[in-house]
Structures are given as C-alpha cells and as structure tokens.
C-alpha cells in the first residue's frame, strides 16, 4: 500500500450512494437472471406452492402471462419444469410431443421468439411414478446407461418443441455426450446444453419437491448426486461435461457452494451458472415474514454473492422481482 491511516481512508469511497455505485466491483443485471417455472397438466387455475410463497404451479395460460411479465422486466431466460397428469416407471410424458412441457415450450416460443432464452430442465424425476431421475433396474437402482437413452429422446423432443437450451440435471455419467449426439443427429446442432455439472445431494431441495412433485418414493439420490463434502469431484464432473460437449455449466445449490462456484469459474472458459434453489428462497421468505430480515436487501445481497463468486447467470425464483428492482 502506498499510504496508511490517516492519509488512507477507505471510507471516503463509501460516503454516498453515488460514490458506492461508482466504485462497485460487482454488478448485477436483469439479463443475467433466469426464472425457473413450473407448469402442471390438468389444473384450471395456478396452484400456490405452500413452502415457496409467491411461487405457483402454472397452467399453460398463467405461464404465458408470467413469462411475458418476466420478459418486460428484462429477465434473460426461463427454465421450464413440467408436471404431467399421469406418471409411469419410464417417464413417458417427458418426451411425448403432446406432453405438458412440450406444449408449454411451443407456447413460449410462439409468444417470445428470440426475446428471451427458453430453457427446459431435462430429467425424469417429475415424470416417473417412483420419483427417481432415470429408469430403474430390478433392484431399484437407477440404470445409468438405459437412462441415457431416455435423456436423448427427451432432449430431441424438447428441441423440437422450441427449447433453445436443455438442462440435463439427472447427474448420470455420460449424459451430456448422449444428449449432444442425439441433438446433432436430429439436426439440432444449435441447441445449447447447460449441464447441471455440479449438482449436490442437498437438503436445500425440500420445497422444490412440493413444487415439481418429484420426490423419490423410496431411497434418495445420494447414489448419483454429489456428496456435499467434495470439491475436487465437482471440478472433475465439470471437466467431463465440457469434454462431452457442454456449452455452459451449473452449480446447484448456490448458497452453501459459493466456493465451488468460485473454483469452477476460475478454471473454465465457459459461462458458469448458479441455481438459487427452493430452500434458499424459502428461508429468506420465511425469515422476512417473521420480521427477522429486510426481505429486499436479503434477496439482492444473496444474488450479488453469486455474482461475486463468479456466476455469470443465476437461476432464481425472484428473477422477475429482482429485475424490476434493478431497473
């Protein structure tokens, strides 16, 4: 340092809001936010998610309205999750051209065109009767290689319906390579793969399981999602996904894994996304409702934390609200 106190006074640069804005090291923009949305088949009105105040399971019409509001606020993208009326052991609704996600993707593509990036979560947990992320063996383990065949089919169905980005989230070995090959064979060479590369077996997913109705009917997902104790493993998963053709990578959850976001962002030259998951959302909403924290400040501070750690995009259920606040 060239000077010390009293000549050096760092507080000078914090004195007014204008000075703080001028020298801010990290900036958050609406177009960096991605809004996760749930669309449910067989309902006539939006269905509130009790554990996530302000979040609903949409009808097709209410999703279109919410998507338009997000676009007007400047949100950069939408990530669509589907909840079919009927489920089976293979998750047949996931790649059905008439399935709820494919219909919703066609709606959004028609409404928004290229004004927003339309993304589809690519997994089977919302579609299978057992709630696991793939096809099961006779001993009720997820069959990795059989599941890849299903993921490949789902990817092409989502691309055909208008998804510009597919987000494989099942944490199966080789999933990115299988999906890239299937998309390319079908002529969808421009469809982007946002790999859920470092997805941890986390307690913070609890409310999501109500929203997406995809909780396992038995066991858990620790056999294929990552151990929260491991960091180097996340780097290996990212390297493998990039080698298989991933265009972007994601860390999920975000709040408890800021170190993972930072390590990956320092290591790769593709965009790194962070998912501010349902439990993170629910904690802030619950604390704010009890008057324990300033809700808006906590939302924006948490989002800045992801950006500061190195996330180029943030999936957050507050995307539309945060975008409005930023504008």
Domain ranges of the chain: 27-326
Write out the binding residues for Zn(2+): 123, 125, 133
- pLDDT score at 215: 80
Pairing status of strand 56-58 against strand 47-48: antiparallel
Phi, psi of 264 (to 5 degrees): -70, -45
- pLDDT score at 10: 93
> CB-side exposure of 202: number of CA atoms within 13 Å?
23
- Which of 165, 246, 233 has the alpha carbon at shortest distance from 199? 233
Write out the binding residues for 5-aminolevulinate: 209, 221, 278, 317
Give yes or no for a cis peptide into 253 (omega within 30° of 0): yes
87 counts as catalytic: no
| C-alpha–C-alpha distance, residues 179 and 152, integer Å | 5
Average pLDDT over residues 53-64: 97
Pairing status of strand 77-83 against strand 56-58: unpaired
Check pLDDT > 80 for residue 121.
Answer: yes
Check pLDDT > 90 for residue 95.
Answer: yes
Average pLDDT over residues 209-235: 88
- For residue 311, give Cα distances in angstroms to 132, 285, 320, 326: 28, 23, 18, 17
- pLDDT score at 1: 58
40 counts as catalytic: no
> CB-side exposure of 195: number of CA atoms within 13 Å?
27
| C-alpha–C-alpha distance, residues 317 and 277, integer Å | 8
283-313: per-residue pLDDT in tens?
999 999 999 999 999 999 999 999 999 999 9
212 pLDDT tier (thresholds 50, 70, 90): confident
Least confident of 56-70, 168-182, 197-211, 308-322: 197-211
Domain 27-326 sits in CATH at 3.20.20.70
% residues pLDDT > 70 (the chain): 100
- For residue 161, give Cα distances in angstroms to 106, 108, 116, 141: 5, 10, 15, 31
Of the listed 40, 65, 87, 252, which one is catalytic? 252
């Amino acid at each position: 340092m060239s000077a010390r106190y009293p000549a050096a006074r760092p507080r000078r640069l914090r004195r007014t809001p204008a000075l703080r804005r001028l020298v801010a090291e990290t900036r958050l923009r609406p177009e960096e936010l991605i809004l996760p949305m749930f669309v449910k088949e067989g309902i006539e009105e939006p269905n509130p998610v009790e554990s996530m105040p302000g979040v609903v399971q949409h009808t097709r019409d209410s999703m279109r309205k919410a998507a338009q509001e997000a676009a007007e606020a400047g949100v950069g993208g939408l990530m669509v999750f589907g909840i079919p009326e009927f489920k089976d052991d293979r998750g047949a609704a996931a790649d059905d051209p008439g399935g709820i996600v494919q219909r919703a993707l066609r709606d959004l593509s028609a409404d928004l065109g290229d004004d927003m990036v339309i993304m589809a979560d690519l997994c089977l947990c919302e579609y299978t009767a057992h709630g696991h992320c793939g096809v099961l063996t006779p001993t009720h383990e997820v069959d990795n290689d059989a599941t890849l065949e299903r993921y490949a089919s789902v990817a092409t169905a989502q691309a055909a319906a208008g998804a510009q980005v597919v987000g494989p989230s099942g944490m199966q070995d080789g999933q990115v390579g299988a999906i890239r090959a299937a998309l390319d064979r079908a002529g969808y060479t421009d469809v982007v793969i946002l790999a859920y590369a470092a997805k941890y077996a986390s307690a913070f997913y609890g409310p999501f399981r109500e929203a997406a109705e995809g909780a396992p009917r038995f066991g858990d997902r620790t056999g294929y999602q990552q151990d929260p104790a491991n960091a180097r493993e996340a780097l290996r998963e990212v390297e493998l996904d990039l080698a298989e053709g991933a265009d972007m990578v994601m860390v999920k959850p975000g709040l408890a894994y800021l170190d993972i976001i930072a390590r990956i962002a320092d290591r790769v030259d593709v965009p790194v996304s962070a998912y501010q998951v349902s439990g993170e959302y629910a904690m802030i909403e619950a604390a704010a409702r009890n008057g324990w924290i300033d809700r808006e400040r906590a939302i924006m501070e948490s989002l800045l934390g992801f950006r500061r750690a190195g996330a180029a995009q943030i999936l957050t259920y507050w995307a539309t609200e945060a975008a409005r606040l930023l504008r």
